[in-house]
Chains A and B, each alone.
Chain A
């Protein structure tokens, strides 16, 4: 029986508190009107700025406004604010920049919230797949995975609250004035309207958590059951969950990410988001398994299980890259104006992150995890895992930031605070989740196969 050590609990609480303070600071320190914004931009022009060199080169706010225009036009288009005429550009520009600055803490909050939430969700999907596939190697890990998914409930509630309350910070189509001027957005209002958006979010929330509840309940019931009824129930539940998930994940990606730039669309998008969700989750399962094994709680897990997890990390890193490249190549190749804006802002304003992510998410994992022997060495897998997680944090960062704050992104107190806050929360909930039940999933019909598993 595992118990979350008081040291770890304390660490988690400290992380949450420090993170919360940082986030509050982030929200307070946003400029509340254009005067403050101008001061901020002037200060930024002398100091360091996360953006491109031309931001730093501009000595005055006025110049800054102008030089940023080129890049800014892209993000204007992204936000669908095509209605702005040339004449009123100056004023509306500052208004727009102010809006982007005010969005920064929201985005920082959302990136971290979604990043940790998607780990719990992805772990749940992995769990369901193991059930449906009747995998013989993984049942020894079931309690670990159940523990990781313990974060699903708090994580999903927070994420849903953020997307509901973010309003026009994230979703320009929630701005009525904007929609009135924009024929394209009006055409989409059958799907992109606030009540339906909220209803969908709540359906996802309920569906995912209900499966998690049923699955863990049955899995625990199986430990004391005299027959395989709970197992069979779980098998069925997992099949229907996967069906539900593939549909809700698709619409979730459209709702929460794609509609941040409501003019832009890509059919692959949802599957691309899924790849990120899935590979991060498997990585965390591997990391938690190694942690518990090291602490002596998982004697029945051997290095073959680790080997398999590392293979999944490897394979789905490649899979993620495949989808990333598929989407990028097709849009780059055809170069259709409506579509390329998405990548133009990412390449121009986020160049290092955008391409650096490929190194972290693809090149590092394939070089580190291709060797069979290395996949059995915990510290090696941990190293690869950390790189993968950093890479996918950047991936989520790049899904959100360019669409919401445009060129005015930074990685500072607020963003780090977001990570710390949710990391603390994640450790706390996963730790307590792991401590609820014995880590040995007694009664599973494939348990013996799994314990004897050697590769």
Chain B
């Protein structure tokens, strides 16, 4: 790919005096070792949350959607909020693995594996909502254009909800394939390093007989590049299509042409916040501070700043055009004077504070490089981005064109339970992943060790870089 020379002013991406062997050992350690007590405690908590959520889902499906807090005015609330929130979170994974690959960002190599895992687990959570929010989920297969005995009754391809079906399922499959191809050399490494016969067998199957020949690597790189080139428009289009669910409508506040790029920017914003949340804990727990360095955290904070800035410009645009349009209905939309002072003012201000005010602190270099502060900001953004979707959906619906149908929404325990359940499910999957998968793409990190490793950079500084 790019040349191996690197300007001396770039900070190292791998700290410590690492060799190739060290990388294999340290990445393999959490998989080849045993889980400690904390892991079991956290896993159990996540599992309980998941099971509780599963109970709520079963209750909903068997009793009816009426157990949720929806009403005739507000037909979408927590369900779609959570859906969009989870899909959004997933986007950072693809951004890191695909877009940053296209931009040749070497720092992505330490974070891409976990970010992609996060994508896949988040999309799985997201994928639940379109099914469970259906009144008759057992007829969900009717959304697929399958020849049938109703005179071959087909779907209407004009609905963005149908586009969602294609978008999300394509997104999940492409992300999965992209992730798995990247895993092949790493699974092979585990297969070759483990002494346990059972593990050897499992990783032997998972690695598809990867032997790392020149021709294999050549094609591997080619495939990664092509998939990155395909995943980039895919990631943009998936969240665009999610945004179309709202923007194609005529609901004031929903019908806005900026939604496609603005949702995508928001997705990356919230996704990176989630990556930060997860990786800050993970680097500590599995001792990978030499690979996921402060520099990585700072870079991700910069991406958060950038996308947060884009989202802020979109907020201002929405607010301004709402006024500029001169339409009286626009004063009840989620970013309007009416929303700032109305019954959902708390949700409006939660959005402004979490997504605009708090992230501004990252402009300060000291705070951007402060791990604790980063962690707090990342959590705040995750909350804020949930509120953004909640505001867009609920505030805009609550005061529509006809005042006689204005209504408020309050969630029931089932709404909340399902959401908690998806968080539990997500962590169940992520915790299992962290114990069984190589959480850092060691094969990729090895390719930058000599150009970007601290030890080698010091050597070059001492002996000249020619």
Q: Which A residues are within 8 Å of any B CB, using their own CB?
A: 133-134, 136-137, 183-184, 187-188, 191, 228, 243, 246-247, 250, 254, 265-271, 318, 322-323, 326-327, 329-331, 333-334, 336, 338, 445-446, 448-449, 452-455
Select which of A183, A184, A250, A449 is within 8 A of B5 by beta carbon. Answer: A449
CB within 8 Å for A250 and B313 given contacts A188-B324, A445-B9, A448-B7: yes
Asked whether B233 lies within 8 Å of A266 as measured between CB atoms, the reply is no
Per CB-CB distance, the 7 closest pairs between chain A and chain B, nearest first, are: A267-B258, A268-B257, A326-B260, A187-B326, A333-B248, A449-B7, A268-B258
* List of A residues within 8 angstroms of B240 by Cβ: 322, 326
Extra pairs beyond A191-B324, A268-B257, A336-B250 (6, CB < 8 Å)? A246-B309, A254-B324, A271-B258, A322-B260, A445-B8, A453-B2
* List of A residues within 8 angstroms of B10 by Cβ: 134
Asked whether A323 lies within 8 Å of B261 as measured between CB atoms, the reply is yes
- Central interface residue in B10, B257, B261, by most chain A CB within 10 Å: B257
Asked whether B3 lies within 8 Å of A454 as measured between CB atoms, the reply is yes
**Roughly how many angstroms separate A190 CA and B318 CA in the complex, as a whole number?**
17
Per-residue contact bits, chain B 1-44, to A (CB 8 Å; 1 contact, 0 not): 11101111110000000000000000000000000000000000
Count B interface residues, CB 8 Å: 39
Is B183 in the interface zone, CB < 8 Å from A? no
- Central interface residue in B7, B249, B259, by most chain A CB within 10 Å: B7
Residue of A nearest to B1 (CB): A455
* List of B residues within 8 angstroms of A243 by Cβ: 309
Asked whether B309 lies within 8 Å of A322 as measured between CB atoms, the reply is no
Q: How far is the CB of B356 from chain A (nearest CB, A)?
A: 14
Grouping DSSP codes into helix (H, G, I), strand (E, B) and loop, the A interface class, with mixed when no group exceeds half, is helix
Select which of A228, A267, A330 is within 8 A of B248 by beta carbon. Answer: A330
Asked whether B257 lies within 8 Å of A269 as measured between CB atoms, the reply is yes
CB within 8 Å for A446 and B7 given contacts A188-B326, A453-B2, A455-B2: yes
Q: How far is the CB of A103 from chain B (nearest CB, A)?
A: 24
Per-residue contact bits, chain B 116-127, to A (CB 8 Å; 1 contact, 0 not): 000000000000
Q: In residues 276-305 of chain B, which contact A (Cβ within 8 Å)?
A: none
Is B357 in the interface zone, CB < 8 Å from A? no
Asked whether B261 lies within 8 Å of A326 as measured between CB atoms, the reply is yes
**Roughly how many angstroms separate A455 CA and B101 CA in the complex, as a whole number?**
13
A selection of 12 A-B contacts at a CB cut-off of 8 Å is A133-B103, A187-B326, A246-B310, A267-B258, A269-B257, A322-B260, A330-B260, A331-B257, A333-B248, A334-B249, A445-B8, A452-B5
Q: How many A-B residue pairs have CB under 8 A?
A: 98
Select which of A269, A323, A334 is within 8 A of B250 by beta carbon. Answer: A334
* List of B residues within 8 angstroms of A329 by Cβ: 244, 248
**Roughly how many angstroms separate A452 CA and B7 CA in the complex, as a whole number?**
10
**Roughly how many angstroms separate A254 CA and B258 CA in the complex, as a whole number?**
14
Residue of B nearest to A444 (CB): B7
Is B98 in the interface zone, CB < 8 Å from A? no
Asked whether B261 lies within 8 Å of A334 as measured between CB atoms, the reply is no
Asked whether B325 lies within 8 Å of A265 as measured between CB atoms, the reply is yes
Is B255 in the interface zone, CB < 8 Å from A? yes
**Roughly how many angstroms separate A448 CA and B8 CA in the complex, as a whole number?**
10
Q: How far is the CB of B241 from chain A (nearest CB, A)?
A: 11
* List of B residues within 8 angstroms of A266 by Cβ: 257-258, 321
Asked whether A246 lies within 8 Å of B313 as measured between CB atoms, the reply is yes
Asked whether B318 lies within 8 Å of A334 as measured between CB atoms, the reply is no
Residue of A nearest to B330 (CB): A265
Asked whether A322 lies within 8 Å of B248 as measured between CB atoms, the reply is no
* List of A residues within 8 angstroms of B310 by Cβ: 246
Residue of B nearest to A187 (CB): B326
Is B247 in the interface zone, CB < 8 Å from A? yes
Q: How far is the CB of A209 from chain B (nearest CB, A)?
A: 22
* List of A residues within 8 angstroms of B257 by Cβ: 266-269, 326-327, 330-331
Q: In residues 306-324 of chain B, which contact A (Cβ within 8 Å)?
A: 309-310, 313-314, 316-318, 321, 324
Is B236 in the interface zone, CB < 8 Å from A? yes
Is B256 in the interface zone, CB < 8 Å from A? yes
Q: In residues 215-253 of chain B, which contact A (Cβ within 8 Å)?
A: 233, 236-237, 240, 244, 247-250
Asked whether B324 lies within 8 Å of A330 as measured between CB atoms, the reply is no
Asked whether A270 lies within 8 Å of B317 as measured between CB atoms, the reply is yes
- Central interface residue in B9, B240, B325, B465, by most chain A CB within 10 Å: B325
CB within 8 Å for A247 and B318 given contacts A268-B258, A326-B261: no
Asked whether B309 lies within 8 Å of A267 as measured between CB atoms, the reply is no
Per-residue contact bits, chain B 327-365, to A (CB 8 Å; 1 contact, 0 not): 100000000000000000000000000000000000000
Asked whether B236 lies within 8 Å of A322 as measured between CB atoms, the reply is yes
**Roughly how many angstroms separate A268 CA and B244 CA in the complex, as a whole number?**
13
* List of B residues within 8 angstroms of A338 by Cβ: 327
* List of A residues within 8 angstroms of B327 by Cβ: 338
Q: In residues 392-440 of chain B, which contact A (Cβ within 8 Å)?
A: none
**Roughly how many angstroms separate A267 CA and B335 CA in the complex, as a whole number?**
13
* List of A residues within 8 angstroms of B247 by Cβ: 330
Asked whether A136 lies within 8 Å of B7 as measured between CB atoms, the reply is yes
**Roughly how many angstroms separate A110 CA and B90 CA in the complex, as a whole number?**
44
Q: How far is the CB of B447 from chain A (nearest CB, A)?
A: 15
Q: How far is the CB of A131 from chain B (nearest CB, A)?
A: 13
**Roughly how many angstroms separate A187 CA and B322 CA in the complex, as a whole number?**
12
Q: How far is the CB of A41 from chain B (nearest CB, A)?
A: 35
Q: How far is the CB of B450 from chain A (nearest CB, A)?
A: 15
Q: How far is the CB of B337 from chain A (nearest CB, A)?
A: 14
**Roughly how many angstroms separate A455 CA and B259 CA in the complex, as a whole number?**
36
Q: How far is the CB of A384 from chain B (nearest CB, A)?
A: 18
Q: How far is the CB of B134 from chain A (nearest CB, A)?
A: 23
Residue of B nearest to A134 (CB): B10
Select which of B6, B248, B255 is within 8 A of A449 by beta carbon. Answer: B6
**Roughly how many angstroms separate A340 CA and B309 CA in the complex, as a whole number?**
30
Q: How far is the CB of B93 from chain A (nearest CB, A)?
A: 20
**Roughly how many angstroms separate A333 CA and B244 CA in the complex, as a whole number?**
10
* List of B residues within 8 angstroms of A136 by Cβ: 2, 6-7
CB within 8 Å for A184 and B326 given contacts A250-B317, A445-B7: yes
Q: How far is the CB of B466 from chain A (nearest CB, A)?
A: 9
**Roughly how many angstroms separate A445 CA and B5 CA in the complex, as a whole number?**
13
**Roughly how many angstroms separate A27 CA and B233 CA in the complex, as a whole number?**
46
Q: How far is the CB of B301 from chain A (nearest CB, A)?
A: 14
* List of B residues within 8 angstroms of A246 by Cβ: 309-310, 313
Asked whether A228 lies within 8 Å of B321 as measured between CB atoms, the reply is no
**Roughly how many angstroms separate A449 CA and B460 CA in the complex, as a whole number?**
14
**Roughly how many angstroms separate A331 CA and B260 CA in the complex, as a whole number?**
13
* List of A residues within 8 angstroms of B3 by Cβ: 449, 452-454
Per-residue contact bits, chain B 136-178, to A (CB 8 Å; 1 contact, 0 not): 0000000000000000000000000000000000000000000
**Roughly how many angstroms separate A134 CA and B2 CA in the complex, as a whole number?**
15
Q: How far is the CB of B312 from chain A (nearest CB, A)?
A: 9
**Roughly how many angstroms separate A326 CA and B325 CA in the complex, as a whole number?**
19
Asked whether B261 lies within 8 Å of A268 as measured between CB atoms, the reply is yes
* List of B residues within 8 angstroms of A254 by Cβ: 324
Asked whether B321 lies within 8 Å of A265 as measured between CB atoms, the reply is yes
Residue of B nearest to A275 (CB): B261
* List of A residues within 8 angstroms of B256 by Cβ: 267-268, 330
CB within 8 Å for A336 and B255 given contacts A187-B326, A243-B309, A330-B244: yes
- Central interface residue in B6, B309, B313, B326, by most chain A CB within 10 Å: B326
Asked whether A454 lies within 8 Å of B259 as measured between CB atoms, the reply is no
- Central interface residue in B3, B240, B313, B465, by most chain A CB within 10 Å: B3
Asked whether A265 lies within 8 Å of B324 as measured between CB atoms, the reply is yes
**Roughly how many angstroms separate A188 CA and B237 CA in the complex, as a whole number?**
34
* List of A residues within 8 angstroms of B324 by Cβ: 188, 191, 254, 265
Q: How far is the CB of B243 from chain A (nearest CB, A)?
A: 9
* List of A residues within 8 angstroms of B261 by Cβ: 268, 271, 322-323, 326
Q: How far is the CB of A428 from chain B (nearest CB, A)?
A: 35
Asked whether B5 lies within 8 Å of A267 as measured between CB atoms, the reply is no
- Central interface residue in B236, B240, B324, by most chain A CB within 10 Å: B324
**Roughly how many angstroms separate A446 CA and B10 CA in the complex, as a whole number?**
9
Residue of B nearest to A445 (CB): B9
Q: How far is the CB of A451 from chain B (nearest CB, A)?
A: 9
CB within 8 Å for A334 and B309 given contacts A270-B317, A322-B236, A326-B260: no
